[in-house]
Structure 1
Amino acid sequence: MPPARHAARNLRDARDVLLVIDLQNDFMPGGALAVPDGDAIVPLVNALARGFSHVVLTQDWHPPSHVSFAANHAGHAPFDTLMLPYGPQVLWPTHCVQDTPGAALHRGLEIAHARAVIRKGHHPEVDSYSAFVEADRVTPTGLTGYLRETGVRRVWCCGLATDYCVAWSALDAQAAGFEVAVIEDASRAIDLEGSLAGAWRRLQAAGVARVNSAALSGTEAL
């Protein structure tokens, strides 16, 4: 049964997890890799989180030498695509470098009851959009095992960016056997050369539900 059919139930049940993806300073307006309107979702994510007893946060956590940074490839610029051993890689502006202000979670995020923080992209030689499996498609983050051991059945995804880390995380959660939904109004996209429309097509084809935050409360507003 897709998550959208559970909209009226009490989401405080720990079998439901809210996965809050990459609400970090470098993805906010003015940041190194800003997602348009990224900061606008923070109050809504806070409101959503109050309806869940089980929340997991993610952080991009790159070393300065990370392979995805255009600055580490002579002759290349941000948003170029480079072929790496694991496949095509978009080259990004240097962002979310470990232990820098840009890598910190947005100061307006109020989810003190979050149970775990998954840091991804910390291997220098491989990128990681997904909260579950890195871009080489074989290196796990450990999130799948954690969610299974804590009894999670349904994963509700929100955050930044819809077409990259949110979509990849949702697809991998679905592939791991969880019921999955992306909360559209609690996410924002980069939309690089049609990437948002492409992400929604892949999500729909995989059976990931597309929901609005109001569906979780059964009302028009949280």
Structure 2
Amino acid sequence: MDASFPADVALIVVDVQPDFMPGGPLACHLGDAIVPGIDALLRARRYRHVVATQDWHPRGHVSFAANHAGRAPFTPIELHGHPQTLWPVHCVAGSEGAALHPAIDWTPLDLIVRKGTDPAVDSYSAFRENHGPGGARPSTGLAGWLRERGVDEVHVCGLARDVCVLWTAQDARALGFRAHLLWDLTRPVTPASDAATRAALAAQGIAIA
């Protein structure tokens, strides 16, 4: 193994799935451009611990605009007392669009975290679901899994930079991990969000690598 990073550093690859690629129902801006770089990074075996997340929704998921009569995708609503964006139907559990991207060699993976499985709660972060009933944010168990392996620093890449990648990095920092966002190995839903994303990362002391 190339020990480029010590054992207390883990890589989290967020939602690199076909449905988020150009041509998919929830395409990120130039989302396919990060696939070769992530594949090369995993093949280099630079991390002792590698985690991937998958959006893994039931078809009746509350975040799908199709499940709200008269509502269009990208419409904001209130859900469990918090803002919620309604999305096109995407990453339905078991579908080809929900698979980990087939052009990446996922052999180094230690763990896959499937999120958004609760039909009533959306899930952006690798660490915690979005706000549920009563305002709670249920844990995915990832923080405990990392701590059991002595990890105290995470590097985050994937899709989308302004949603799931950002929330993952923010939660990592809030839960006591050092966090770095691998900017060139992320892409946003829209590049118009990049300035706000940089500001949010800076506000929490999350490094851009």
TM-score by length of 2: 0.93
- CA offsets 1:23-57 (integer angstroms, 9 cap, x no match): 00100111110112111111111222222121100
Residue correspondence of structure 1 range 41-190 to structure 2 within 5 A: 41-49=34-42, 50=44, 51-136=46-131, 138-190=137-189
Query: Residue 92 of structure 1 aligns to a residue in which SS?
Result: coil
CA distance in 2, matches of 1:12, 1:46: 17
CA apart distance, 1:154: 0.9
The equivalent of 2:202 in structure 1 is 204
Distance 1:11 1:195, change over 3 A: same
- CA offsets 1:62-117 (integer angstroms, 9 cap, x no match): 00010100000001000000111141100000000000111011110112011000
The equivalent of 1:220 in structure 2 is none
Q: How many residues align?
A: 202
Kept in 1, the 8 Å contact 2:28–2:190? The answer is no
The equivalent of 2:24 in structure 1 is 31
CA distance in 1, matches of 2:57, 2:112: 15
CA apart distance, 1:10: 4.2
CA distance in 2, matches of 1:10, 1:104: 29
The equivalent of 1:3 in structure 2 is none
Query: Residue 93 of structure 1 aligns to a residue in which SS?
Result: coil
TM-score by length of 1: 0.87
Q: Which 4+ residue blocks in structure 1 deviate beyond 3 angstroms?
A: 9-12
CA distance in 1, matches of 2:186, 2:193: 14
Q: Partner amino acid for 1:114?
A: L
Residue segments in structure 1 that go unaligned for 5+ positions in a row:
1-8, 212-222
Query: Residue 18 of structure 1 aligns to a residue in which SS?
Result: strand
Kept in 1, the 8 Å contact 2:29–2:190? The answer is no
CA distance in 1, matches of 2:78, 2:100: 31
> Which of 19, 22, 35 is 2:15 aligned to?
22
* Percent identical residues: 50
CA distance in 1, matches of 2:38, 2:81: 33
Kept in 2, the 8 Å contact 1:67–1:127? The answer is yes
Kept in 2, the 8 Å contact 1:180–1:209? The answer is yes
CA apart distance, 1:12: 4.2
